[in-house]
Chain A
Amino acid sequence: MSSLTPGVVAPAPTSERPARAAPEPAAVAPKRSAPPARLGRVPLIAFLAGVGLLVCAVTSALSRATLTPSPMIYWTGLLIIVLPIIYRLCSPKPSSGERLTLVCLLGMALYGVKLARDSLIYTFPDELVHAFNADQIALDHQLFNANSVLPVTPDYPGLEGATSALMTMTGMSSFGAGIVVVGAARLVLMIGLFILFRRISGSPRVAGLGAAIYAGNSNFLLWGGQFSYQSLALPLFVLVFVALSERDAAPRAAAGAWVVPIVLGMVAVVLTHHLTSYLLLATILALMLARRVAGRGESMPALWPLAAVAAGLTAIWLAVVAPGTAGYLWSPLSSAFTSILETLTGQVSSRSLFGADESARAAGVGSAPLAARIVSFTSVLVLLVALPFGLRRVWRRYRRQPFALLLGAAGIGFFGALGMRFVSSAWETGNRATEFLFIGLAFVSAFVALLVISRFAERRPHAAPWLGPALVTSAVGLVLVGGAISGWPWDAQLPKPVRATVEGRSIESEPLGVARWATEHLPEGSFAGSEADARFFLAPGGLTAYAGKNPDIDNILKEPVLKSWHLPTLRRLGLRYVVVDRRRRSADIIRGYHFELRPPAGQPDLVLPRAVVAKFEQLPPAARVFHSGRVAVFDLEARG
């Protein structure tokens, strides 16, 4: 206490002054001269991120070695990565450069966690499909090759075309090249979110926290890091919106230049992913509306020409190159809509969150443990509670900013899309939508984080200055872990072995083994198989394989007797070979790839009755040409 005249309150020393949120300047054009670069806490935090990544990798390795490590070790590794970054971002001290570096570190470290699950082979369902497309481009030197499992994917060759550049120049596999391309896309996403939020808010601190909070969306850790077209399309979507926001902020004379990256980005999005291109157009239209609400329509460069370009590109691509997209999307979207109505009117019961769905039951998996559900629900609750406070902040300070209004609306829309998870046929549609809408929620939540820090300091001036940031860090860490839990089945968070070494030699799981065999001995064959088997036949098999319900290969394989339409369907599709997999989890596109496990690492596989195999034995011209226990391959034209 300083010695002053009684009654006069001495100003508190700097360290004890209530931490106030940094003043939020109006959006300004970026400075031309960069401040002196400083590392700040980056080296220490990078080291901790490396340690966290190693902990996650060790846990994944122990899981692949069937040693059943506790998932708590894995989550601890994630928290070691995440918490120091969030804590540092809460501080007012870091420079803008340091904040950007930390945001990139967070995004890339979590991408490393996803890579550490893979063992030099793709095992995510969409990865196998897109890897096949990339392999075919590298082989045939052309785009638009057919894909029997997801026929629409070759019509959007942006990701695979990009990957083919590295593959054809270096001879790399689609696995290695895909890691580089998706890694670069992840970097674009993190930098793009930071710059976008900084442009709108004028605050690097808000930008850093917002971009970091975005990592808490349920698809960020695993789904969004897979080799799939949305993993490239979403970052390009963000790139376009960064360019739009920069264009709005630029002097009129310089605004025209921004049209180039905007249009280039639009073209790339249209070539890469159907839904993202439609969302891009919808978001531009929503931005036009937001400008009207903000009363800024006249003072900013016109958006309608860009909307017209987006609409034209999308329509042309849909009509000329990818007409099958309409049928592909119509089924799940119409089912989602119908299912929502039925659930709302009580005709069907709502979907059980974290309950075992049909695939999980087929794999013998139960529901997620109670603790995991509590964490996941709490993370959503934190975001829901934060939303109104963040919206109020955004409305008070940024209601003249169209982008801010748009992001606020997206934050509200997130919870609407989240509700779709309670509807059986709509949960996937809702899941995909939340990845985009979370951008708005992350932006809004960043303001709440700073509000909590400043209010905590104001109301507890004698408390340690780190308590407020620690509280926010804990909440954001909870959001990240809760998002990761809800984004992937609990039992599949840690990988299971697809390959293993025994007595110094390498062996592969049964579905991978049959795919390798077919590639070597029946390279020209066409196969009918279960969902998981068919995907391995695509990649790394490089073969034609049909699966699923359209055509209904699933029924052909699971029925104990041959129905009158089974063989004609197979003949019509030109499928000479049938891969009959008695493992029930072979129909599960997430769990169907690994070895059968013995306790305590897992439970014996649930199997289909022997009749599903025997029915093909009874066909005179057919022959069982391959048998590995659970899997048999029949040649339906063996007799000729």
Chain B
Amino acid sequence: MRGHRDLVVATATAALCALVALIAPPEGVRLVAAAPLCVLLPGYAITAAVFAPAPLGRSQVLLFSVGLSLTTLATGGLVLHLLPGGVRGASWATLLFGVVFAGCAIAARRRPKPRRASLPRQTPRLRPTHGALLLGAVLCTIAALALSWSPLPAENVVGYTQLWMLPAPGSEGAGVRIGVGSAERRSLAYRLEVRQQDGGAPVSSRLVLEPGQKSVRVVGVRGRSPGVPVRVTALLYREDRPGKVYRRVSAWVQGA
């Protein structure tokens, strides 16, 4: 690839991107590295290889760089599925780098003579006002996305409370796990009552939950006969509406 600067840059960039995408700790850095490796470089290499004798115009190079990268991704998944190892990060990085390397190598062989670069040399002149306007566009876009991806206070949503109950796994005696989760719009106080089918006094407890808060507790269950299922019912009341069952769940538990 000597003498073909664009191909050398593409191959080296692909190698660097593959490494960084796999090993860099911050996800954002990995994305910055992986994105060109996925959606630009493979297509560029294939385009360079296929059209080596008669290079395309810039707009066509851009189209087929991105487009053939997408075709590589769409098809590459099937290739990796069929190979040992499967669809994994390392295999993707290897495959995509391999496509870039092979494409650039073929392009270097097929091109009529060494070229300094097929990358655009001329960059638009950027006046200060143009720079300011472009910066403004970028800032508006960032602001728009940041705003859209931020959860917001919503006064008019109707909140709710979750109540659930499941047999407690791996407990020494029979028991249930009971969870209460608040998606209400204000802090609420509850009374939780747990009853067993075969009578006995219900177990009652009080809890207060803030919006978004959850509480999970384990309640032991005693049955009359070991191995005989016992029905357990949990009732949740709101303290501001003590006479009305707010939520109700049940579970069957093997008696201890």
Contacts and interface: CB of A to CB of B under 8 A. Distances in A.
Interface string A40-80: 00011011011101101110110011110000000000000
Contacts of B69: 184
Given A195-B59, A506-B212, A627-B162, A37 B122 contact: yes
B74 A158 contact: yes
Contacts of A604: 158
Given A162-B77, A164-B77, A116 B57 contact: no
Contacts of A180: 31, 35, 38-39
Interface in A598-640: 598-602, 604, 621, 623-630, 633, 635, 638-640
Contact of B93 (A65, A117, A169): A169
Contact of A50 (B37, B76, B140, B249): B140
Given A49-B137, A170-B21, A502-B211, A64 B152 contact: yes
A255 to B, nearest CB: 11
Interface in A177-229: 180-181, 184-185, 187-188, 191-192, 194-195
A630 B160 CA distance: 9
A363 interface: no
Nearest to B232: A623
Given A112-B145, A166-B35, A141 B88 contact: yes
B64 A261 contact: yes
B60 A50 contact: no
Contacts of B9: none
Nearest to A60: B148
B56 to A, nearest CB: 7
B147 interface: yes
How many chain A residues sit at the interface, stated as a range, is 35 or more
Contacts of B67: 188, 192, 235-236, 239, 261, 265
Contact of A184 (B39, B96, B154): B39
Given A47-B133, A169-B30, A191-B63, A257 B50 contact: yes
Contacts of A305: none
Interface stretch (B163-171, B198-206, B217-225): B163-171
A320 to B, nearest CB: 12
B226 interface: no
Given A137-B87, A161-B77, A181 B39 contact: yes
Given A184-B39, A500-B154, A602-B156, A143 B183 contact: no
Contacts of B86: 140-142
A408 interface: no
B161 interface: yes
A244 to B, nearest CB: 13
A184 B71 CA distance: 11
A271 B159 contact: no
Interface stretch (A16-24, A28-36, A341-349, A446-454): A28-36
Interface-central residue, A61, A191, A502, A599, by most chain B CB under 10 Å:
A502
Contact of B75 (A264, A506, A639): A264
Contact of B144 (A46, A54, A141, A621): A54
Nearest to B120: A34
Interface stretch (A416-424, A460-468, A507-515, A558-566): A507-515
B124 interface: yes
Interface in A340-393: none
A172 interface: yes
B211 A195 contact: no
Contacts of A191: 59, 62-63, 66
A165 B92 contact: yes
B112 interface: no
A633 B50 CA distance: 57
B120 A142 contact: no
Interface in B8-25: 21-22
A497 interface: yes
A144 interface: yes
Of A162, A505, A638, most buried by chain B (CB within 10 Å of CB) is A162
B122 A157 contact: no
Contacts of B231: 623
Contact of B129 (A43, A161, A192): A43
B4 interface: no
Contacts of B92: 164-165, 168-169
Given A502-B153, A628-B163, A165 B133 contact: no
Given A37-B123, A192-B63, A623-B252, A628 B160 contact: yes
A595 B157 contact: yes
Nearest to A495: B148
A56 B144 contact: yes
A159 interface: yes
A54 B147 CA distance: 9
B243 interface: no
A505 B145 contact: no
A624 B249 contact: yes
Contacts of B63: 188, 191-192, 195, 239, 242
Contact of A595 (B122, B154, B164): B154
A170 B30 contact: yes
A546 to B, nearest CB: 21
Contacts of A53: 140-141, 144
A157 B77 CA distance: 8
A165 B76 contact: yes
A259 B103 CA distance: 16
Contact of A168 (B60, B71, B87, B122): B87
B248 interface: yes
B140 A116 contact: no
Given A43-B133, A601-B156, A162 B57 contact: no
Contact of B133 (A44, A96, A141, A176): A44
Nearest to A600: B156
B192 to A, nearest CB: 13
Contacts of B93: 169
Which of B56, B74, B77, B184 has most chain A Cβ within 10 Å?
A: B74
B229 A640 contact: yes
A85 to B, nearest CB: 13
A522 B166 CA distance: 10
Task: Name the residue among B34, B54, B88, B139 with the largest chain A CB count within 10 angstroms.
Answer: B34
A174 interface: no
B124 A38 contact: yes
A268 B50 contact: no
B183 A164 contact: no
A505 B187 CA distance: 11
Nearest to B157: A595
A254 B162 contact: no
Nearest to A508: B183
Contacts of B105: none
A505 to B, nearest CB: 3
Contact of A271 (B78, B134, B161): B78
Contact of B148 (A34, A115, A623, A635): A115
Q: Give 7 closest A-B pairs by Cβ, nearest first.
A: A161-B77, A50-B140, A505-B212, A141-B86, A162-B73, A57-B144, A158-B74
22 contacts: A50-B138, A50-B140, A54-B144, A61-B150, A119-B149, A141-B85, A141-B87, A158-B74, A162-B77, A165-B38, A166-B35, A188-B63, A188-B67, A195-B63, A232-B74, A236-B70, A242-B63, A257-B53, A502-B154, A502-B212, A509-B157, A600-B156
Given A116-B145, A142-B81, A164-B92, 7 more contacts: A47-B134, A141-B87, A180-B35, A188-B63, A507-B183, A598-B156, A624-B250
Interface of B: 21-22, 27, 30-31, 34-35, 37-39, 46-47, 50-51, 53-60, 62-64, 66-78, 81, 85-89, 92-93, 96, 120, 122-126, 129-131, 133-134, 136-141, 143-145, 147-166, 179, 181-187, 210-213, 229, 231, 247-252, 254
